[in-house]
Amino acid sequence: MMKIMTTVILSTLLASAIMMLCVMISKTMNSDREKSSPFECGFDPKTTPRLPFSLQFFLIAVLFLIFDIEVVIILPMITTMKLCNNMTWMITVTVSLMIILIGLYYEWSEGMLEWSY
How confident is the model over 14-50, as pLDDT tens digits? 999 999 988 888 766 556 566 666 665 666 666 666 6
Average pLDDT score over residue span 41-67: 73
pLDDT over threshold 90, residue 9:
yes
Label each residue of the chain as H, E or C.
CHHHHHHHHHHHHHHHHHHHHHHHHCCCCCCCHHHHCCCECCECCCCCCCCCCCHHHHHHHHHHHHHHHHHHHHHHHHHHCCCCCHHHHHHHHHHHHHHHHHHHHHHHHCCCCCCCC
- Which pLDDT belongs to residue 34? 60
In the chain, what are the domain boundaries?
54-117
pLDDT over threshold 70, residue 110:
yes
Lowest mean pLDDT among 33-37, 75-79, 90-94: 33-37
- Which pLDDT belongs to residue 39? 62
